[in-house]
Structure 1
Amino acid sequence: MTSVPQQPHPGPAPAATPPAEPSRAPAAPRRAGARTLAAALPAGAVGASLVLVAAGKTWTRGFAVFGGTHLPVHASGTDTTALPGALALVALASLVAVFAVRRAGRYAVAALLTLSGLGVVVMALARRGDHQAIDSAAATAAGLARTTAVDTSVSAWPLVSAAGGLLLLAAGLLALRYGSTWPAMSGRYDRPGARRPVRDRAAASAAAAARPAQVDPERSEDLWKALDRGEDPT
């Protein structure tokens, strides 16, 4: 009697490995970009507004003595130094230009925004106690070139200007750190022949590949291929 060889008993099937969850890493930069953009835009707009408003307000008050009479005089922020207002306009333009440029241009514009905010802070604090503008106003009021203002006092508007500069500085630092994740303006108005980004070229290639091939009605093989693809050659 011949014995039938026994087949080895198969072991338990290995447990199926659950599919790995898709990586969520790319979503994190987008969320960070959205949050920083929502913070940088109001900070830049409010900061520039504070600097421009403070430039037109009175920074220094005093009196010009003339013939025993004390004439009240004052000097505005623009009289004291016009640089903070000019830097605020540069910063505001840079904040808008961040969305019109890409790559290295965006970093350059963000750096200009940061330097503008820093310049506003430095100039507002450095010229806060300067008496040159108020002395000039006193000389004009008294009609004497060597007249100086007395009992001078400094208002809080230079500090308001410095606070606006700090907001501009913060917006610039956010643009330097997270500007690469911020959206950019559409390129539909770019000059013809301009180089498009890689993702745009890839999308155009995919659309061209998905476009159905043209069918020549005079060639029977093209008609059969169209029918195989489920297309109506007519």
Structure 2
Amino acid sequence: MNRRALYAWLILSAAAGALALLAGGRVWARLLAPTGPANPEALHDVPGADVAPVITPVVLAALAGCVAVLATKGVFRQIVGVLVAICGGAVVVGMTRVFDDVLLLESAELRGASVDVTVWPWLTGLGGVLLIVSGLWAAVSGGSWPGMSARYDRSDRRKPPSERSMWDAIDRGDDPT
């Protein structure tokens, strides 16, 4: 059962990160200038990377955290889950900046322009909320999920062989290295 929860968490986290990354790079708003002799209906696209340049690195950090959750166990997995949730919160805060920055751009560049906000900042925010949910999920129940296989871990945790035992191994025809 725990393995299914881990797989479901991984799908949710990857989908949330992909959604936020895809939507964060699109055009978030369009500034439409009023028609007139000086500026005949100018159209200015405002991409998400200009409004909130922090979105891409934060989402990439969250996706790296998803890989780290797979590679860790116990308390460390829960700490990484909290960090993924914090990254999701940063995505949501970055998404809300479109409303402040569009108004600033409107007043600075195009007086009297109308602002058309697209659906992309909302989808970016949805990806951020899903990252928060997945991070909290990993923080709460990630400690019980199975870890990576211990198949290649060294099973003999003894002290290193002495010089004498290495010579004895060579005498037997074994390679002590």
Residue 78 of structure 1 aligns with which residue? 49
Q: Which residue, 75, 83, 94 being the options, matches 1:104?
A: 75
Residue 174 of structure 1 aligns with which residue? 137
Residue 56 of structure 1 aligns with which residue? 25
Output the amino acid matched with 1:97.
Answer: A
Residue 123 of structure 2 aligns with which residue? 160
Q: Which residue, 81, 97, 120 being the options, matches 1:127?
A: 97
Distance change >3 Å, CA 189–CA 87, structure 1 → 2: farther
Q: Is 1:116 equivalent to 2:116 in the alignment?
A: no
Higher helix share: 2
Distance change >3 Å, CA 131–CA 117, structure 1 → 2: closer
Offset, 1:50: 0.7
Offset, 1:131: 3.4
1:1-234 superposed matches below 5 A: 31=1, 33-64=2-33, 67-124=38-95, 126-132=96-102, 135=105, 146-148=108-110, 150-187=113-150
Output the amino acid matched with 2:101.
Answer: H
Equivalent pairs, count: 155
Q: Structure 2-normalised TM-score?
A: 0.75
Output the amino acid matched with 1:46.
Answer: A
Offset, 1:62: 1.2
Give per-residue Cα distances to partners, 1:74-110, cap 9 Å, x unaligned. Answer: 1111111012222111110001111212233212211
Distance change >3 Å, CA 38–CA 103, structure 1 → 2: closer
Offset, 1:134: 7.6
Greater relative contact order structure (CA < 8 Å, 6+ sep): 2
Is the 8 Å Cα contact of residues 88 and 117 (structure 1) preserved in structure 2?
yes
Question: How many Å separate the matches in 1 of 2:77 and 2:150?
Answer: 15
Percent identity reads 33
Output the amino acid matched with 1:169.
Answer: I
Output the amino acid matched with 1:63.
Answer: L
Question: How many Å separate the matches in 1 of 2:22 and 2:103?
Answer: 18
Is the 8 Å Cα contact of residues 62 and 152 (structure 1) preserved in structure 2?
yes
Offset, 1:168: 1.0
Q: Structure 1-normalised TM-score?
A: 0.58
Structure 2: runs of 5+ lacking an equivalent? 158-177
Output the amino acid matched with 1:69.
Answer: P
Output the amino acid matched with 1:87.
Answer: V
Larger Rg: 1
Question: How many Å separate the matches in 2 of 1:68 and 1:90?
Answer: 42
Is the 8 Å Cα contact of residues 20 and 59 (structure 2) preserved in structure 1?
yes
The two structures, once aligned, show a CA RMSD in angstroms of 2.9
Distance change >3 Å, CA 115–CA 131, structure 1 → 2: closer
